[in-house]
Each structure stands twice: as C-alpha cells, then as structure tokens.
Structure 1
Amino acid sequence: MGDLEVRRVVADDIPAVVAMLADDPLGAQRESPDDLTPYLAALDRVNSDPNQHLVVAVRDGSVVGTLQLTIIPGLSRKGATRSVIEAVRIHADERGSGLGTRLIEWAIEESRRQGCQLVQLTSDTSRTDAHRFYKRLGFDASHVGFKLQL
C-alpha cells in the first residue's frame, strides 16, 4: 500500500479509532470518546479471537482509517467461509483520497487469503454516499438487513 501501513489495532490507537467512529451523525449518537474503558475491553476480546481483524491504516505515524474484518466459517453455500466488513471509517482529512478503496481492497485480499468465497457488509440506510462507494467497488445491494437491540 505504498506510504500506507495496515496493521492490527493496539491500545494506543483506540482514541483515534473511537474519534473516527464518532465523527458522523450516527456515530455521534452511539459512541463515547470521553470514556475509552469499554473500547479497551472490547479490543481485548477482539484481539483474542483469531477470526477478527480489527485494523488501522497509518500514514506518516497517524491513524487515518479503520475497519473490522470478521471471518465466518459456515455450512451454507457448500460449507463456504465468508467475511464481513464492519465499521469502515476514514479520517475526515483523508476522505476522497482513495484511502477507503485501499482499505476495502485490503479486506478483500485478506478474505481471499483466508479462503473466503464471499465478502459481505452492511451499511446504514442513511449512508447513501457509502452505498455508491460500495457499488463502485463491485458490491451488490442484495439483501435487506434487520437488527434487534438487546
């Protein structure tokens, strides 16, 4: 990725990652950058699971993007392994630079390397710019998603 490093998230990255998660109207409602305790506990859980790949993109020593890639072995599709891309965020200063494309390409390549036959993701219905972005990268809007808050 040239001048960009993609690597696993470490504890020191959490303030920057949470700031990116909170830097939009949806994230501002559900994230709490002032208390990093739950995020650090979550990082421990994520990093202890070999099927989780929570990564950051770093340029010139600064965290400029993040995403989480989950590998899911399954029975459907003749025992196919799939991956799920979640929580894609790009720092405001980097939006439009191609960084999002590079991160998604990283996730697709990592999915191939892990033996996945399918890459999937969800995007909130209000994120119309993201929908165009994912379609441009070859993703099809093939399903309707549902959530149940617990």
Structure 2
Amino acid sequence: MDLRPELLPPPVSRQRLGELCAEVMRIAELLETGPELAIEAIAAFNEMSGHGYVALDFAEYDASRSREEFAREAARPARPVVPDITRDKLVEIVRRLLTAGPESDWYLCLLEANIRHPRVSDLVFHPSDDLQDASAEQIVDEALKYRPVAPCPPG
C-alpha cells in the first residue's frame, strides 16, 4: 500500500545531515569537557530542531544508533501528527515497522504521534501473550481500543 507524502519519512539533505552530525558530536564532546556549556548547546539544539533531547541522549546515543541516525531523527518533526490518518494507513505503518527497515524510527515516531495508546510501541515490539504473532491489523485494532481514563474531579 502506498502512503501519502505526509506519512513518508521527510527527506533530509546531506548538508543538513552533516550540520546536525557535527552539532551532535560537539555537544557530546562538551558533555565530557564542559558540561555547563553543553546545557546551553542542548537548549539551542532543541530550539532549532523542535525536539526535547536531554544530556543523556547526546552522551549515549552511540549505544543504540549512529550519529547519522540521531541527526536524521533531529532533522525530522518530533511529533508528526496527521489529523485524518485512517486505520488502513496505521496498519501500513505497523507493517513497515514489523519489517524493521531503515526508516523504522520514522514510522515508530509517526505511530506514537497518531495513536493515543501510551505504550503502542510495546504492542509492536514487546506484545503480551495474546498478541504474540499478531498481524498489523490486530496490533492497530488493539491500539485503537485504548481509551484514557479521565481523572476524578476534585472534591
């Protein structure tokens, strides 16, 4: 199934990727040599990227991904909410996640931004016994069943 353009990973130019990679490395080095300067650099990075990274993201990014993957994530929207996303499109997003392709991070971010279930990624990657070997359709249906519980009014 094809996805419309706003559901596809936005392209990131090589120049932008290079700039962000350099800034990620600079911040990681600042954390080692001058943590007080790193706080300002992280705030500026977050302001520029629209993300909410913390020092640990820069200090330990290389434990789970490359600097280029981190930079690509930072170059893309933090919460890509698509107001009229359909169940069928969500199913296709989960299918793409299950194939573990190179753009999985984007599709996970897209899924988390467009489904209210607080642990939708667990439904995909760490399913309960009743969702073991579930289809993409079953995962989306389970996620869409979630309804947040409203807090009790005071008094």
The normalised TM-score by structure 1 is 0.27
Q: Which has the higher strand share?
A: 1
- Which structure has the larger Rg? 2
By relative contact order (CA 8 Å, sep 6+), the higher-ranking structure is 2
